[in-house]
Chain A
Amino acid sequence: NAGVTQTPKFQVLKTGQSMTLQCAQDMNHNSMYWYRQDPGMGLRLIYYSASEGTTDKGEVPNGYNVSRLNKREFSLRLESAAPSQTSVYFCATSVQTRSYEQYFGPGTRLTVT
């Protein structure tokens, strides 16, 4: 089992360009999440999908859109990248049980110049 996979691993964009970060899981988990991690800021939730067919905003959703394509896949789109979106992006999943522990993908390092 691959667990949670993310593509690409690294990306450099120019300001104004768009891109989609892909996340896929083979853990049969219901819930999926997108986070960004910046130095000194910790992990911050961008968007989440509690189950297939639903998405909701997290703490820092501005400048992003998401699509829960099916139970396995959850993508994050930057329509017009800005330098402030330079960050490491992590996808995570959880089975919606009482304990809510999350499992993370390896991350995408994005630089916007």
Chain B
Amino acid sequence: RKEVEQDPGPFNVPEGATVAFNCTYSNSASQSFFWYRQDCRKEPKLLMSVYSSGNEDGRFTAQLNRASQYISLLIRDSKLSDSATYLCVVNMAGGSQGNLIFGKGTKLSVKP
């Protein structure tokens, strides 16, 4: 089983739609979870950390299910500017805790 798995998409949605991305991770000892956003030909940028209780930042909601080793990102009222690739990221438990494992990303395209 790969360490961090995501549906590669692409997800093509109209403006204003709600879209959800899912991610599973294999190491049950992982402690830190993130969603990063990567625009075409740009560097990844931290979108939000994911906390055990779930957290919200404006139109974005992230949830963590440790029992199922599952992370989700919900985007409400999609904007054209949300078009990007969304990377699920998990820290590597054991060894250097600062090392992160990146999923391959889910591509989102928001259409007018």
Q: Please report A residues at the B interface, Cβ cutoff 8 Å.
A: 31, 33, 40-43, 45, 48, 50, 56, 58, 90, 94, 96, 98-107
Q: In whole angstroms, what is the CA distance A106 to B49 when docked?
A: 21
Q: Interface size bucket, B side?
A: 10 to 19
Contacting A at CB under 8 A, from B83-100, are: 87, 91, 96-100
Q: A99-B49, A101-B34, A106-B43 are in contact. Are A50 and B102 (CB under 8 A)?
A: no
A42 touches B102 (CB 8 A): yes
Q: A42-B103, A48-B99 are in contact. Are A104 and B43 (CB under 8 A)?
A: yes
Q: Please report B residues at the A interface, Cβ cutoff 8 Å.
A: 32, 34, 42-46, 49, 87, 91, 96-100, 102-105
Chain B: CB-nearest residue to A97: B98
Q: A40-B104, A42-B105, A100-B32 are in contact. Are A50 and B98 (CB under 8 A)?
A: yes
